[in-house]
Amino acid sequence: MDFDFTEEQRDFRSALRTLVDNDIIPVANEWERSGRYPTEIVEKLKTMGLFGITTPEQYGGMAVDKVTFTLVYEELARGWMGIAGILGSHNLSCWMIDRHGTTEQKDRWLPRLATGEARTGIGLTEPGAGTDLQGISTTARRDGDVYVVNGTKTWITNARHADVLPVLVKTDPAASPRHRGMSLLLIDTKTPGFEVQRDLGKLGYKGTESCEILMTDVRVPVTDLLGGAEGLGMKQALSGLEIGRLNIAGRSVGIAQASYDAALKYAREREAFGKPIADFQAIQLKLADIATQLQAARLMTYWAAAKADTGARVDMEAGMAKYFASETAITASLEAMRVHGGYGYSTEFDVERYYRDAPLMSIGEGTNDIMRTIIAKSLVSGSGIIA
């Protein structure tokens, strides 16, 4: 067993850490409080090629391995989780277009998406359909050589900056089972009737927008049906969730690492009763708990990513990593706040931001209760073997 990164992965991590330490951490709190969009950081992400990490080289991307993919999100989330969010939805969409798109769809979009010249996200969730994607109500009615789309999507990351958005629709609302009537359309966001209505207020996950989208008689060419065949949308969307969960697990490890770093630094510097609070056993126990859970989460996350690199299905492994790492992020951020005492509740310290960002990781790409059912089904069916 090799528990270390390759030399290439270590070099990549070093470049990411330089970006995070020099360009993200110093501005994260101020820009989050002011609601300032991180335009300059996005430009640096483009320069590093990070908008193309799931796009093949033939289209101008890097198509990195899954371990490196996960590493990107860990390092960025260590600095500011919202920055990782900007890349997360974009690269998931690129992966889906490459995996399921027609040759024409790939040629048209992937070269521009890989450089960040064009941006994307993914439109799945609706006000009345989150976990139950089969319950969506957005419809796409065939009218000659176009689909006429009507419906609403919500919690859409990158909505205001996306040039194209894969949107899950019902091309056959009467289909049974329901998933056979679902398709993904690549909708050009400049199409008349496509409207980004409002930004949703959030506890955390600032830096990137999360919006509601209204589609009123949006006319989408039939050639923009992902893959060129109806009824595959649910399968296409779910296929991306495995790598999406590696993304969330990586982000969770990043938040937990940042929480640990902040707690350890503060414990060494803060004095009480004439000595650093790191000398008190109560604080030492907290640091030990955070560090142990962090390392366990990291090992589980990269175990899942390494298995994904073999080409195997990783429903159970990615589910375990996402579940455990996100719970670790929540615990680590809370304990880091406690180490800081009253200052942990102050917006002048980073730990309150970690505490607000962490809970989303237990919800995104499927709630942790859903992860537990996925894990259990894999175990019961025999496809997930733990030995």
pLDDT digits (tens, 9 = 90+) for 175-209: 999 999 999 999 999 999 999 999 999 999 999 99
Asked if 44 contacts 93 with a C-beta cutoff of 8 angstroms, the reply is no
Neighbours of 76 (CB within 10 A): 27
Closest CA relative to residue 70, chosen from 91, 97, 56, 49: 91
Closest C-alpha to 42, from 197, 162, 213, 185: 162
Q: What is the pLDDT of residue 84?
A: 96
134/170 Cα distance (integer angstroms): 9
Backbone angle region of 279, left / alpha / beta, with phi > 0 → left and psi within -120 to 50 → alpha: alpha
Residue 157 β-bridge partners = 210
Domain 240-381, what fold?
A: Butyryl-CoA Dehydrogenase, subunit A; domain 3 (1.20.140)
Asked if residues 16 and 75 have their Cβ atoms less than 8 Å apart, the reply is: yes
Kindly tell me the burial class for residue 357, based on how many C-beta atoms sit within 10 Å of its own C-beta (0-12, 13-18, 19 or more): buried
Distances (CA, A) of 118 to 49, 161, 303: 13, 9, 33
Any idea how long the chain is? Answer: 387
pLDDT for the residue numbered 130: 84
For the entire predicted model, the pTM comes to: 0.96
Which residues neighbour 316 within 8 Å (Cβ) at sequence distance 6 or greater?
374, 375, 378, 379, 383, 384
Q: Cβ–Cβ contacts within 10 Å for residue 203, how many? A: 10
Q: What is the 3-state secondary structure (H, E, C) of 191-217?
A: CCCEEEEEECCCCCCCCCCEEEEEEEE
**pLDDT computed for residue 374 by the predictor:** 94
| Active-site pick, 74, 75, 327, 365 | 365
DSSP at 122: -
Q: Say which CATH superfamily domain 7-115 falls into.
A: Acyl-CoA dehydrogenase/oxidase, N-terminal domain (1.10.540.10)
Residue ranges in the chain whose pLDDT is less than 70: 387
209 catalytic, yes or no? Answer: no
Fold of domain 133-233: Butyryl-CoA Dehydrogenase, subunit A; domain 2 (2.40.110)
The answer to whether the CB of 384 falls within 8 A of the CB of 378 is yes
The full set of domain ranges for the chain reads: 7-115, 133-233, 240-381
Q: How far apart are CA 95 and CA 6, in angstroms?
A: 24
- Asked if residue 93 lies in contact with residue 120, where contact means CB atoms within 8 angstroms, the answer is yes
CB 95 within 8 A of CB 237: no
Q: What is the pLDDT of residue 3?
A: 84
